[in-house]
């Protein structure tokens, strides 16, 4: 039992502290891969819990139920304009094969919806409901992704509208292209003299195609939907994992419907509804978990020394603050390109989380200004004061005096006397540093 407790303590400390104290510069390539993989898993699980993904998935499930008929209607209406309505309908039925019983009902509702919007009186109301439903659904998805990525600002309404409508306009074309390409390849291979040799390859291609299409779709989602820059490799990692999980869930769900037939006893003809809700809930959960994985893969380095950074002493934080200020000032004095937070963290082996906190504070107290670098597309930092007047004393005076003071309403003689004495002590201590410039350290 004591060995088990000791092992548990070591594992807990490794997950909580030790793994975050090892930066990628200290590890070999193989260890770096393993450490990064464990970090991504830990952050994804933490994000799953802290971001209430089950609640977000429930909200998206409701939005999908509200918007599914208008979205399908818009896709079918666009496909009618291209004359490929039947192909689009069959493709949608194949895509949502797990809901084979409900899709015909949805398609009938879509047909009635389109007929009602063409009947003069209802055309204005129908179009308004269609646009509002579609916009609300896409806005809910973007909000969920932005929350995971900790993005505070969404796209403007105009950008959202143009982006979402463009997506719906392009989607039928992509469906037609993928279906036409599949038909062409199958026809060409069947007429080939190598048909017998290629039959196993064709079977594998047919079985593998859904996975590949899911990978592409999920990767595009994780790349485009968040209102921030997502690196392709991180979107691809999440896209492959989430796309594969989604396809596995589809297979399990289809085969498992036989064992779920007992719902017919309880719900009768309504049995398809709770099954649809279950399918949508888990599907949305897979999509959101993939977003967590893409965020964790891209931002894992931000969590190095996280516990230590959150518990940093004032003395050591002041020391690192002075160090970062010196680096930026010397860079400016030597007429070199301004530094970004990533450069400071990488070149001087500092935790990126701590570097970002200190740089934000120095900008807030007007020691630094942010300068956007057009070449690297990153924020860089330069002194906001004359470096020949920026002393160590002035630096900490601005930091320590920033914020509210003297807000205690009652007159307190002991407090006032103590304040006067501490200021005298501070003035004597500052005499040593008041003429020392940061650049001369």
Q: Is the pLDDT of residue 294 over 90?
A: yes
Burial class of 416 by CB neighbour count within 10 A (0 to 12, 13 to 18, 19+): exposed
Continuous segment of H or E residues that includes residue 381:
strand 378-383
Tell me how crowded residue 399 is: count the other CB atoms within 10 A of its CB.
19
Please state the domain count of the chain: 3
Rounded (10°) CA dihedral 119, 125, 127, 131: -160
Q: Any residues with CB less than 8 A from the CB of 135 and at least 6 apart, and which?
A: 160, 161, 164
Helix axis angle, 314-333 to 392-400, nearest 10°: 130
pLDDT-derived band at 441, boundaries 50, 70, 90: confident
Same-domain check for residues 176 and 217: yes
378 falls in which pLDDT band (50, 70, 90)?
A: confident
In a domain, 308, yes or no: no
Residue 298 belongs to a domain: yes
Q: How confident is the model at residue 18 (pLDDT cuts 50, 70, 90)?
A: confident
Are 399 and 365 in contact by the 8 Å Cβ rule? The answer is: yes
Give the tens place of pLDDT for each residue, 22-77.
777 677 777 888 888 888 888 888 888 888 888 898 888 888 877 777 777 777 76
| pLDDT confidence band for 121 (50 / 70 / 90) | very low
| Residue 307, in any domain of the structure | no
Q: Are 132 and 216 members of one domain?
A: yes
Ranked by mean pLDDT, the top range of 76-85, 225-234, 426-435 is: 225-234
Does residue 292 sit in the same domain as residue 145? yes
Within a domain: residue 156?
Answer: yes
Tens-place pLDDT, residues 352-368: 888 888 998 999 988 99
- Residue 389: φ, ψ to 5°: -120, -5
Please determine, for residue 125, whether its predicted confidence score (pLDDT) is greater than 90: no
Residue 309 belongs to some domain of the structure: no
Rounded distance between C-alpha atoms, residue 136 and residue 132, angstroms: 6
Mean pLDDT of 89-114: 61
Q: Which residues pair with 340 in a beta bridge?
A: 380
pLDDT at 396: 85
Same domain flag for 80 and 158 = yes
What are the structure tokens assigned to 235, written together?
């979107």
Which of 235, 267, 302 lies at the terminal end of a domain, its last residue? Answer: 302
Does the pLDDT of residue 432 top 50, yes or no?
yes
pLDDT tier for residue 91 given thresholds of 50, 70 and 90: low
Q: How far apart are the first and last CA of the chain?
A: 55
The CATH code of the domain that includes 370 is: 1.10.10.10
- Owning domain of residue 355: 315-440
Query: 101-105, 237-241, 304-308: which range is least confident on average?
Result: 101-105
What is the separation of C-alpha 409 from the centre of its chain, rounded to a whole number of angstroms? 46
Answer yes or no: is 319 within a domain.
yes
Torsion of CA 37, 40, 44, 46, to 10 degrees: 110
pLDDT digits 0-9 by tens, 162-189 = 777 777 666 655 555 555 555 555 555 5
Between 102 and 426, the more confident residue is 426
Q: How many CA atoms lie within 13 A of 134 on its CB side?
A: 23
At 321 the pLDDT is 92
185 and 328 in a single domain? The answer is no
Q: What is the phi/psi pair of residue 401, to 5°?
A: -95, 0
* Co-location of 260 and 375 in the same domain: no
Query: Which ranges of 149-194 would DSSP assign to H, the alpha helix?
Result: 157-190
Where is mean pLDDT largest: 14-18, 103-107, 126-130, 348-352?
A: 348-352
pLDDT exceeds 50 at position 88: yes
- 118 pLDDT higher than 70: no
> Do 276 and 99 form a contact (C-beta atoms < 8 A)?
yes
* pLDDT higher at 324 or 265: 324
Count of C-beta atoms within a 10 Å radius of residue 99: 20
Instruction: Indicate whether 133 and 271 sit together in one domain.
Output: yes
What is the Cα 4 distance to its own chain's centre?
37
Select from 249, 268, 302 the last residue of a domain: 302
**pLDDT given at position 291:** 92
CB 207 within 8 A of CB 232: no
Averaged pLDDT score across all residues of the chain: 76
Is residue 31 situated within a structural domain? yes
- State the pLDDT at residue 84: 56
Domain boundary among 302, 325, 346: 302
Band of the pLDDT at 112, cuts 50, 70, 90? low
Q: What is the tens place of the pLDDT at every residue in 246-264?
A: 888 877 776 666 565 555 5
Residues 64, 160 within the same domain: yes
If you ran DSSP here, which 8-state letter would residue 372 be given?
A: E
pLDDT at 411: 67
Task: Compute the distance between CA of residue 429 and CA of residue 423 in angstroms, rounded to an integer.
Answer: 10
310 lies in a domain? no
Segment 378-397 mean pLDDT: 87
Same-domain check for residues 345 and 294: no
Higher-pLDDT residue of 401 and 110 is 401
Q: Does residue 227 contact residue 153 with C-beta atoms inside 8 Å? A: yes
Same domain, 195 and 319: no
Q: In terms of domains, do 195 and 146 share one?
A: yes
Q: Are 75 and 16 in a shared domain?
A: no
């Amino acid at each position: 039992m004591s060995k088990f407790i000791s092992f548990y303590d070591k594992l807990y400390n490794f997950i909580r502290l030790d793994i975050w104290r090892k930066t990628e510069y200290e590890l070999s390539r193989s260890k770096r891969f393993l450490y990064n993989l464990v970090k991504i898993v830990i952050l994804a699980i933490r994000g799953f819990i802290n971001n209430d993904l089950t609640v977000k998935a429930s909200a998206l499930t409701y939005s999908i139920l509200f918007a599914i008929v208008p979205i399908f209607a818009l896709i079918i209406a666009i496909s009618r304009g291209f004359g490929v309505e039947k192909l689009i309908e069959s493709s949608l039925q194949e895509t949502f094969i797990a809901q084979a019983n409900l899709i015909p009902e949805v398609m009938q509702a879509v047909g009635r919806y389109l007929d009602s919007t063409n009947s003069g009186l209802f055309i204005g109301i129908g179009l308004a409901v269609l646009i509002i439903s579609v916009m609300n659904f896409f806005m809910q998805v973007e909000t969920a992704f932005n929350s995971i990525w900790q993005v505070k600002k969404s796209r403007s309404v105009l950008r959202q509208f143009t982006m979402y409508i463009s997506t719906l306009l392009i989607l039928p074309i992509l469906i037609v292209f993928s279906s036409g390409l599949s038909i062409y390849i199958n026809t060409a291979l069947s007429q080939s003299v190598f048909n017998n040799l290629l039959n196993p390859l064709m079977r594998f291609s047919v079985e593998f195609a859904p996975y590949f299409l899911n990978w592409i779709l999920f990767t595009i989602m994780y790349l485009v939907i968040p209102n921030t820059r997502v690196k392709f490799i991180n979107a691809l990692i999440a896209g492959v994992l989430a796309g594969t999980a989604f396809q596995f869930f589809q297979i399990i769900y289809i085969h498992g419907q036989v064992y779920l037939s007992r719902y017919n006893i309880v719900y009768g003809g309504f049995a398809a509804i709770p099954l649809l809700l279950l399918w949508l809930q888990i599907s949305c959960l897979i999509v959101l978990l993939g977003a967590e994985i893409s965020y964790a893969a891209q931002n894992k380095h931000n969590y190095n020394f996280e516990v230590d950074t959150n518990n940093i002493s004032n003395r050591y934080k002041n020391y690192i603050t002075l160090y970062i200020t010196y680096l930026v000032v010397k860079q400016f004095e030597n007429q070199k390109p301004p530094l970004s937070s990533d450069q400071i963290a990488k070149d001087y082996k500092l935790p990126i989380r701590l570097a970002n906190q200190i740089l934000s504070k120095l900008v807030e107290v007007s020691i630094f200004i942010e300068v956007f670098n057009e070449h690297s597309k990153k924020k860089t930092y330069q002194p906001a004061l004359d470096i020949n007047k920026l002393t160590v004393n002035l630096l900490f005076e601005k930091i320590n005096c920033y914020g509210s003071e003297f807000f205690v309403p009652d007159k307190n003689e002991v407090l006032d006397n103590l304040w006067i004495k501490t200021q005298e002590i501070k003035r004597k201590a500052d005499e040593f540093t008041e003429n020392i410039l940061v650049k001369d350290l």
